[in-house]
Structure 1
Amino acid sequence: MKNNMKKLLPLLLLSAIAFATTANSKIDDPKKNIKTGSLSVHFVNLINGRDLKLNDTVSLYKNANGDDFKVTTFKYYISNVSLIEKNGGKVIVPDSYFLINAADSSTLIQKITNIPEGKYVGMTFTIGVDSLRNFAGAQSGALDPAKGMFWTWNSGYIFVKLEGESTKSTAKKNRLTFHIGGAKDPDNTIRTFTQKFPNTLRISDGKLPELELVANAGALFQGKTTVDFAKLNFTMGGPNSVVVADNYANGLFKIIKVRN
């Protein structure tokens, strides 16, 4: 009897391991088989309600201080996109880094893929590039330095870039240079955008809902501080970039439409 038990014990042990492995596989299977869908995000660049037109000298824009100006460059990063569920939970979109360039129409529509099927009531994302990637050196894709949004001298990314001209600017050739970046205190300019959708977003396999997101470049110059181009017309990181980032933190982006 003892010999039989000795022979049976290894078999029983192997059976138990096999059962546990099978049980765990069954638990994990639903996660592996979750259906996913995609979302198309359309970016519309404005300045205080007017369409942003680069190099437009016929119809100049005005900042909150009343200073006339034109825009020659407008680019910005969004990253770490998450969709908000009805219960308040967040579904993180992995490796979500997007660069929008007003001069490149192909960047104005961004497709977000591999989103679990479901209903979502809002969105949150980082304005700029998160601290981890910001200090990881030059990278590829949207974070490629060739995109013109990386400081080689400062080893970091420019989160929002606006360049232009204003007769009120005291800089050489009346230039405006706003390169907003920096991820270390006290000059940390990373900001977060969060908003509820105007109606529920439905993600499902085989469909491509659309989200329209407005970017108001005028938000850089109004908010906590009204920018006077005679006094502030140049920044590449540092305290003045914090001033501008604090301005646009609550006014740069707005989701205006969801089309399922």
Structure 2
Amino acid sequence: MKKIFSIALAVLVLTACKKDPVEHEHEPEPTPAPTVGNLMVEIEAKAGTDSLIFDTKDYVNANLDSFKVTLLKYYLSNIVLTKSDNSTYKAEGGYFLIDHKAGANKITLSGVPIANYKSISFLIGVDSLRNVSGAQDGALATSNGMFWSWSSGYIFAKMEGSSPKSIAANNALRFHVGGFSGANNALRTATISFGTNSANVSGSTTPAIHLSADIKKWFTGANTTNFATTNVIHMPGTSAVNMSANYVNMFTLEHIHN
């Protein structure tokens, strides 16, 4: 009996002396490094080297015709960014309506892969697929005043104003440029190189690409516009194609904020 009691006592003592298991604190999982960021594009309307002033300021085109501007709107879409290693990223699903008079001149792209980018290109207008896709919303809503009909499609770029040389009623200038098929295709792709600069997208900063759009370039380049003979464009055709061949060159890089 004493022997059994001694064994039980020894077991009890050994059990009491055992240390409680130590609970190890789990290290928090490291936050994954971001792989995408944001990028902004801002476009300033200009007339030559001067900021464009609507309604009151007179300008002169390459044909020496004076004119005023009352409206300047255009679509940008299918934006492609080229990285420093020459690979590219295409922004998905972006259709942006720039309306300079209304102050709608900024584009923000999200989900852009982290990289240094050396150029940007975009379509001026709305691609043929969206032109025949039926009623749409957002920037492509027909209420934006940038749509003709389901057969003619979207107005890609619109400039309105006046000139003493115009023989239209009230000396009006109305250039509504569009057309997406065959000989009437006025879709144009503009590419702007950043030269020695780059837009550096990271997870913590949003670079801003500042461009200018020169209204005078609408009327010179591939074709010089005479307001006495070309003052109204309101449908797809040769005049619209010729003007789009000019304004594709209106964009210039001003600077980049990283």
Q: Structures share a fold, TM > 0.5?
A: yes
Matched residues in 1 for 2:47 and 2:135: separation?
31
Matching residue within 170, 176, 188 for 1:191: 188
Say whether 1:146 aligns with 2:154.
no
What SS is found at the alignment partner of 2:183?
Answer: coil
Matched residues in 1 for 2:118 and 2:107: separation?
19
Q: Is the contact made by 1:222 and 1:247 (CA closer than 8 Å) also made in structure 2?
A: yes
Matching residue within 75, 78, 81 for 1:80: 78
Deviates more, 1:145-154 or 1:198-207: 145-154
Q: What TM-score do you get using the length of structure 2 for normalisation?
A: 0.83
Q: CA deviation at 1:47?
A: 1.4
Cα deviation code 1:232-251 (max 9, x no counterpart): 001122110011011122x2
Say whether 1:216 aligns with 2:214.
yes
Aligned to 1:243: 242
| Structure 2 gap ranges (5+) | 1-32
Which residue identity does 1:225 align to in structure 2?
N
**Structure 2 matches for 1:31-50, cutoff 5 A?**
35-50=35-50
Aligned to 2:159: 162
Q: Is the contact made by 2:48 and 2:216 (CA closer than 8 Å) also made in structure 1?
A: yes
Aligned to 1:52: 52
What SS is found at the alignment partner of 1:123?
Answer: strand
Which residue identity does 2:251 align to in structure 1?
F
Say whether 1:114 aligns with 2:90.
no
Matched residues in 1 for 2:152 and 2:243: separation?
21
Q: CA deviation at 1:51?
A: 1.3
What SS is found at the alignment partner of 1:189?
Answer: coil
Which residue identity does 1:37 align to in structure 2?
G
Larger radius of gyration: 2
Q: What TM-score do you get using the length of structure 1 for normalisation?
A: 0.83
Q: CA deviation at 1:118?
A: 1.0
Aligned to 1:258: 256
Aligned to 2:14: none
Aligned to 2:95: 97
Aligned to 1:68: 66
Matched residues in 2 for 1:155 and 1:65: separation?
30
**Structure 2 matches for 1:127-146, cutoff 5 A?**
127-146=124-143
**Alpha carbon RMSD of aligned pairs, Å?**
1.6
Cα deviation code 1:112-162 (max 9, x no counterpart): 111011111111110111111122123111111111111136441111100
Q: Is the contact made by 2:123 and 2:189 (CA closer than 8 Å) also made in structure 1?
A: yes
Matched residues in 1 for 2:193 and 2:242: separation?
26
What SS is found at the alignment partner of 2:198?
Answer: strand
Aligned to 1:172: 169
Q: Is the contact made by 2:76 and 2:95 (CA closer than 8 Å) also made in structure 1?
A: yes
Q: Is the contact made by 1:137 and 1:156 (CA closer than 8 Å) also made in structure 2?
A: no
Aligned pair count reads 225
Matched residues in 2 for 1:39 and 1:87: separation?
18
